[in-house]
Amino acid sequence: MTKKQKRMLLRILLAAVMMIVLELHPIEGLPRMMLYLIPYFVVGYDILLKALSGIGNGQLLDENFLMAVATVGAIVLGAVQTGDYAEAVAVMLFYQIGELFQSYAVGKSRRNIAALMDIRPDYARIEKNGEWVQLDPEEVPIGSVIAVYPGERIPLDGIVVEGTSSLDTAALTGESLPRDVEPGSVCYGGCINLSGVLKLQTTKPYAESTVARILELVENAGANKSKSEKFISRFARVYTPAVCIAAVLLAVLPSLWDGQWLQWLYRALTFLVASCPCALVISIPLTFFAGIGGAGKAGVLIKGSNYLEALAKTKTVVFDKTGTLTKGVFAVSKVTAVGISEDRLLEYAALAESASSHPISKSLQKAYGKVIDKATVTEIREYSGHGVTAVVDGTFVAAGNEKLMAQLGISHIPCEEVGTVVYVGINGKYAGFILIRDEVKPNASSAIEKLQKAGVREIVMLTGDNKQAARHTAKELGIQRVYGQLLPEDKVVAVERLLSEKPRGSVLAFAGDGINDAPVLTRADLGIAMGAMGSDAAIEAADIVLMDDDPEKIAKAMTISKKCMNIVYQNIVLAIGIKIAALILVAVGLSGMGLAIFADVGVMVLAVLNAIRALLVR
């Protein structure tokens, strides 16, 4: 409990004790009213100040104004008619109890979000003039070597150049098991070094690092409001003036008929207490806030409550294959050469692909296993979705798929084996092929099953691989609908076709990781990016980021979103239903201030309690 909450609790207890004492003491008249004003101001002075501030700022009709008018009116009625001031103090007292409860619930949600914000590094240790000094991470240039001691948080993304250790990645991925790293391993900012001293060469400035991106996503998440939140905002703008006008009419019109001015004024004030829309205004944003925090704790970053709401309506999920459902770590499994040695074929292909960062290019270079002299490679040209051509030591080399061979007019022998096939042409003639395979992620199959259990009706896979390899992977994962040999623009066309086929009112989500997936992530109703292996462009274009590249997290995020939406609908029905019933009963005189207090404070407490459940992620 914060200091502010403790002070509020103390004020509530002090006012409650004073009220009990006054109720037991037989003081009457003006002294009684003056004594009751003491606990009233002790517990409610801040509400009165907020009401006055709202009047000054032109925001007249809010819950503070309603509460101030109702309680001040009750005190005036007590002075004129009943001599009872306890009701005014009790209304303010119970209202502040509800506010304290709401403050604690919001604080709990914020602490959950703050656990993510704790990943912000304080410093980076860099060597200068033979000494290790601490700098602000934002001042460390790319390519610098930084040292990270055991127990410290890695400040920047980098590659291990010296040392071995285990990393706690829970703050980024939600994964409790540590990850071992060694020279050559990629490390992300925000992870905690658990054991040995590590030296890393930074690969990105702080502004572009993983930790900075996460913090930016979390900080901006509240800006994207859901339809439910927008509805509540619109509802409150119309509802509050409406009930104030209704209260005035309730006080005036019946009084003109029977002359019972004080009776109808009291009933109107009770009507105002019952009408406060606190339960809706507080609990709905709190539910989304809690849901986003709970998802973040599980390693799923959701950029706004509108995306959390959309996730609950998702009926179609479209997956990219490489790096999303598969490991994205390609390995050469077969080399077949025609009129040239296999080693020479592999060398030509590796050199031609040396300028590319594509996983297939990396696998060719790894299989080649020698230092690549880029000075021998010139006139490199990349054909998007097809392959590359280059001049290697004066020899024209083409390496790519069947489309590249057809485009260059190179007659080739089709490979019927399962995998990604890189056809190689030398000086315009077919020279053989290299077969590369990518392993399916161990949890990809269970991710598909969990999505189907979560209510997804159709799962589709898109890939640039040949159709045979695409069908093989789809069959292994249990995916019925698959499209292969797609260029980036073909993926957009495929998603647009799927968007036209989806059930009305449902959402289509696309999950991908590569830079060529950015247009599709933007075009889909909901874009989901793989955060750990995903490209910056994909993460920027996506609405949801999975920080450990685990496709099972999509189903987990859907479970969280559906739970949140159920809580939102429950609170809307609960608050509006009880509110309408209480207003009718108060207006016709069948109930008094007790029901009004419950309709305001009691319903708010129930709604907030229900909203807190969104924090509980199993």
Percent of the chain residues past pLDDT 70, beyond the cut: 85
User: Given the structure tokens 């230092």, which residue do they identify?
Assistant: 371
Write out pLDDT tens, residues 275-314: 777 677 777 777 887 788 778 777 788 888 888 888 999 9
Q: How many residues are present in the chain? A: 618
Residues 6+ positions from 230 with CB-CB distance below 8 Å: none
User: Given the structure tokens 């240039």, which residue do they identify?
Assistant: 141
Output the pTM of the full model.
0.64
Strands 179-181 and 198-202: unpaired
3-state secondary structure of 27: coil
Domain 124-219 matches domain 327-439 at the CATH topology level: no
**CA 606, CA 587: separation in Å to the nearest integer?**
24
Write down the H helix ranges in 259-374: 261-275, 278-297, 305-312, 342-352, 359-368
Write out pLDDT tens, residues 567-615: 888 888 888 888 888 888 888 878 777 777 777 777 777 887 887 777 6
Q: State both tokens at 395.
A: 């020899």
Question: Which residue among the candidates 62, 320, 517, 525 is catalytic per the annotation?
Answer: 320
Topology of the domain comprising 327-439: Calcium-transporting ATPase, cytoplasmic domain N (3.40.1110)
542 membership: H or E segment, kind and range:
none
Write out pLDDT tens, residues 55-98: 777 665 566 777 777 777 777 766 666 666 777 787 778 777 77
Report the half-sphere exposure of 62 (CA within 13 A, side-chain side).
18
Write out pLDDT tens, residues 390-407: 998 889 999 988 888 998
Residue 118 among the catalytic residues: no
Domain ranges of the chain: 3-115+222-289+562-615, 124-219, 305-325+441-542, 327-439
What class does CATH assign to 124-219?
mainly beta
Residue 533 has pLDDT above 60, yes or no: no
Topology of the domain comprising 305-325+441-542: Rossmann fold (3.40.50)
Whether residue 130 contacts residue 124, with contact meaning beta carbons closer than 8 Å, is answered with no
